[in-house]
Structure 1
Amino acid sequence: MSDCNLQTRRRLLQTSAIGFGQLAMTAMLGREATAASMKTTTPANPLAPQLPNLPARAKRVVFLFMKGGPSHVDTFDPKPMLQRDSGKPLPFDLPRVTFAKQSNLLRSPWKFKRYGESGLPVSELFPHVAQHIDDLCILRSVHGTNPAHGGAALKLHTGTDQFVRPSMGSWVVYGLGTENQNLPAFVTICPTLAHGGVNNWGAAFLPAYCQGTPIGNASLAAAKAQVKHIRNGRLSTDVQRRQLDLINAMNRDHLEVAGRSQALEGRLNSFELAFRMQAAMPEVQDLSLETEATQKLYGMDDAVTEDFGRQCLMARRFLERGTRFVQVTHSDSEVQWDQHSNLYHGHTKNAAEVDKPIAGFLTDLKARGLLDDTLVVWGGEFGRTPTAQGNNGRDHNPHGFTMWMAGGGVKGGLAYGATDDYGYYAAVDKMHIHDMHATMLHLLGLEHESLTFRYAGRDFRLTDVAGRVAEDIIA
């Protein structure tokens, strides 16, 4: 064989380089085609249940949002070295950007105890939730990017802290529709109007039917959280039906002439849903239909737990009727979970309000067979620093904090990931907010890179251009 017939590595690359480009282009076009196939047209009933594109472990999601940022090192992420070195300087550098001035390390004022067969430790702040530790997957290495409440809350809810983007609940509805045509597909109970406000449950550029429906807000007692104008005191149902039919007919004629309008179609669908909700919504919110034992399970017999217990019980009633995504927010104007000072008082008060209701909620879901296919997510927009702010508080910490999941196909009794020895930075199996979103969608049977929507010339998704599914937490 002559030397001219020998194929060197350099010659191979020279002669096949264009082929590599073709392979890359094929892969890119294939991904676009897959994404486009997710939703090519708007169905006649856009809220009809949609088939997931992956095997689904969960059918629905409930997000228990602890507004203000609960401290992970005082709840689900014990740090013995923090206890030992309290009062000493942090032995490594602070983040480049901090929210406020911090001083030395501050020990947790609460003790931790191991529970369940898994033996995972939980703070004495959560004695009731601790009884469910073998159902919980504790995510100890969550991290974000923004140390301010507004940016961090938006990042958690929408995947970005800079732009108006659809919320995670809206993306879930866009991908899966709902299982009850008489109720909103996405409900948020007593949401906060601060720090992102309506953008935290908004649909942005997604179709209008993906929008979250707020019931009350954080400034109202849950007992007063109602959908406004749910009853029409002037017109009968028959007359309302005839009015809607006339409006629909006129607008459909307009669409035939002017062409398709997503905004108008969304408005018409919202009218129809509002009409159907008149019969379904009051029944869902009537908690007097529940037994006394059930109400007591949620803590509704105690003034401390009654408000959040009411929210959790209402959430269960929405979930079991087919609502796809429900958010329950714990927030108040007095304390929230934002303890820059007086950590002991603030966290003690907040935990006492939510501990029993959350435990009752998990018990009830399990007893009704709902926990297996309901993904429960708990957490705030960030955690708190192991260093002190002032004498007895903690600053914001988006660099490493804890959330937990339960049900919906996750491994129970598992602690996933870790922060450093003092709890400042995510260090092992780091889970960015994009990774948490990707994992949530995966459990619902949605491939996060394929769940896209074309807007302003590009494809958008909840996880932007990032996101990694945490396969190790999936049962």
Structure 2
Amino acid sequence: MKNPLCTGFENPIGQSRRNFLKSFGMGLGGLALADMIQPALGANAPAMPGMRMFPEFAPKAKRVIYLFQSGGPSQMDLFDHKPRLNKEHGQELPESVRKGQRLTGMSTNQASFPLAGSPFEFSQHGESGATFSELLPHTASVADELCIIKTMYTEAINHGPGVTMMQTGSQFPGRPTFGSWGSYGLGSINENLPAYVVLVTKEGGGQPITSRYWGSGFLPGKHDGVLFTPSKDAVLYLNSPEGVSREGRGKVIKALEELHELQLAQSADPVLENQIAQYEMAYRMQSSVPDVTDMSDEPKSVLKMYGDDVKIPGTYAYNCLMARRLAEKDVRFIQLFHRDWDAHAGLPGAIKTQCKLTDQASAALIKDLKQRGMLEDTLVVWGGEFGRTNYCQGKMTENSFGRDHHPRCFTMWMAGGGTKPGYTHGITDEYCYNIEKDPVHVHDFHATLMHLLGINHEHLTYKYQGRHFRLTDVHGKVIKEILS
């Protein structure tokens, strides 16, 4: 009997999908597959009758653009205005608020925890009346498109585990990332481009961004994120070496495929099937990638909307525009990493710099998608791995201070893709230290993203080492209040 949690992609008799279809009906199954299955179905085609298919219900979002802000943006300096912090600036954080909660090694030895109010002005915007810092004038201009969650929380207290948790649902490396789970469950919409593309801002300090943040873990390797670099060859090792024509490379791939098919006819080998799929995708990408990365056709009005940095390959603005172009080509999951939000000292100056780099382009992406009629079915996500403390870390001066990591509450926002526009979810206490109403755990966040894509997060699983794993582990609930 089939496990009800099984996705259906794991064949219960140990036979690969390709092999099963080839043997079924003296090979007629394979011929029928080529004729019947459209590229848009991707991984949705079930290996055997009765196996689960995704999406399970009508999705609100067709694609996701995740603007990940690595380092931990300070929520009380950007979105979560707390006048009491300014009123009690320099005073000790009451123990009744901190409640002996876990601290990082950077704060453990502090003799005191002086409160640090935000030096920035806040005001309300749009019909929704959402509150934004003066550092985010462009984001504030799209206030009525945003669904703001002020009560995110996580157990992770340091960057590596924190980023890993936000990407994979676990603090421990080795699990599949969100984009990989989506690629596995939903497949690709555009057969000439990967289902999962990654863009990384080329400059910036802070914590390193490593490839495991877009890895497929124990899922087949074809569900890895594909890194697009800001170089002439956007995808490493994609183009043929000098002296090798595209026709010649095509013949080599065809020959390799035939050899692999001969081996598959004798024994099922998922790794070999994955290699065939990767060869085929790489060959198609040789013509599709140059097209999507050539921005010469972008109108000046669009470039102006994203800001001057959009003309510099690898900047945050450039990557935001690239994300929109990839979304237009129906890339399903687009992950943008931007770092250097980690401000243990000199926060006022550092956060100004980061907002200058990201604010205009983030808002431009929302406006650009909306004017093209794409925001309705494109889910845009903005946020980091945790927030910052309300108390000062290190020395506080008249004009400068730092904040440590704070996982107890932080802010993220989403737009489009079935989220409720102009809505703010959750309330934190007067000190922006604890959650008072409507907490949202990382697992709840992931469950909600899956729901918007038409997936019940409890059903998308993969059997590994004798256990059925899923993105949300054994937790998570859909936050219905943020759905439109």
* TM class by smaller structure: 0.7 to 0.9
By how many angstroms is 1:191 displaced?
Answer: 6.5
Residues 225-304 of structure 1 aligned to structure 2 (within 5 Å): 226-232=234-240, 233-257=242-266, 259-300=267-308
Match of 2:133 in 1: 123
- Structure 2 CA distance for aligned equivalents of residues 79 and 419 of structure 1: 9
Unaligned runs of 5+ in 1: 1-28, 217-221
Q: Work out whether 1:457 is the aligned partner of 2:461.
A: no
Match of 1:52 in 2: 55
- Structure 1 CA distance for aligned equivalents of residues 207 and 375 of structure 2: 31
Q: Specify the SS of the correspondent of 1:264.
A: helix
Match of 1:348 in 2: 352
Residues 404-443 of structure 1 aligned to structure 2 (within 5 Å): 404-443=413-452
Of residues 372, 376, 396 in structure 1, which corresponds to 2:376? 372
- Structure 1 CA distance for aligned equivalents of residues 284 and 316 of structure 2: 28
- Structure 1 CA distance for aligned equivalents of residues 165 and 6 of structure 2: 23
Match of 2:214 in 1: 201
Q: Specify the SS of the correspondent of 1:395.
A: strand
- Structure 1 CA distance for aligned equivalents of residues 178 and 165 of structure 2: 10
Q: Work out whether 1:211 is the aligned partner of 2:224.
A: yes
Q: Conserved in 2, the CA contact under 8 Å of 1:38 and 1:450?
A: no
Unaligned runs of 5+ in 2: 19-32, 45-53
Change (3 A) 1:387 1:194: closer
Match of 1:65 in 2: 68
Match of 2:121 in 1: 111
> CA offsets, 1:402-435, max 9 Å, x none?
0111000000111101222111123311101011
By how many angstroms is 1:33 displaced?
Answer: 1.9
> CA offsets, 1:62-82, max 9 Å, x none?
100111110001111111211
By how many angstroms is 1:97 displaced?
Answer: 3.4
Match of 2:361 in 1: 357
Q: Conserved in 2, the CA contact under 8 Å of 1:153 and 1:195?
A: no
Q: Specify the SS of the correspondent of 1:107.
A: coil
Q: Specify the SS of the correspondent of 2:6.
A: helix
> CA offsets, 1:208-255, max 9 Å, x none?
221100123xxxxx4668212333232222221111111011111112
Identity of aligned residues (%): 40
By how many angstroms is 1:99 displaced?
Answer: 4.0
- Structure 2 CA distance for aligned equivalents of residues 38 and 270 of structure 1: 18
Change (3 A) 1:354 1:295: same
Q: Specify the SS of the correspondent of 1:128.
A: helix
- Structure 1 CA distance for aligned equivalents of residues 381 and 175 of structure 2: 21
> CA offsets, 1:365-403, max 9 Å, x none?
000011000110000111100111121000011111001
> CA offsets, 1:303-338, max 9 Å, x none?
89982111001111111101010011212xxxx101
By how many angstroms is 1:34 displaced?
Answer: 5.0
Match of 2:24 in 1: none
Residues 395-410 of structure 1 aligned to structure 2 (within 5 Å): 395-410=404-419
Q: Which residue identity is paired with 2:403?
A: R
Q: Specify the SS of the correspondent of 1:439.
A: helix
Match of 2:319 in 1: 311
By how many angstroms is 1:358 displaced?
Answer: 0.9
Bigger Rg, structure 1 or 2: 1
Q: Which residue identity is paired with 1:348?
A: K
Q: Conserved in 1, the CA contact under 8 Å of 2:320 and 2:362?
A: yes
Q: Which residue identity is paired with 1:447?
A: N
Match of 2:387 in 1: 383
By how many angstroms is 1:178 displaced?
Answer: 1.3
Q: Conserved in 1, the CA contact under 8 Å of 2:5 and 2:460?
A: no
Q: Conserved in 2, the CA contact under 8 Å of 1:99 and 1:147?
A: no
By how many angstroms is 1:296 displaced?
Answer: 1.2
Alignment coverage as a number of residue pairs:
436
- Structure 1 CA distance for aligned equivalents of residues 313 and 118 of structure 2: 24
Q: Work out whether 1:135 is the aligned partner of 2:141.
A: no
Q: Conserved in 1, the CA contact under 8 Å of 2:150 and 2:411?
A: yes
Of residues 321, 332, 335 in structure 2, which corresponds to 1:324? 332
By how many angstroms is 1:55 displaced?
Answer: 2.3
By how many angstroms is 1:47 displaced?
Answer: 7.6
Of residues 81, 86, 89 in structure 2, which corresponds to 1:86? 89
Q: Conserved in 2, the CA contact under 8 Å of 1:99 and 1:148?
A: no
By how many angstroms is 1:37 displaced?
Answer: 4.0
Match of 1:26 in 2: none
Residues 33-52 of structure 1 aligned to structure 2 (within 5 Å): 33=4, 35-37=6-8, 40=11, 42=17, 48-49=41-42, 50=44, 51-52=54-55
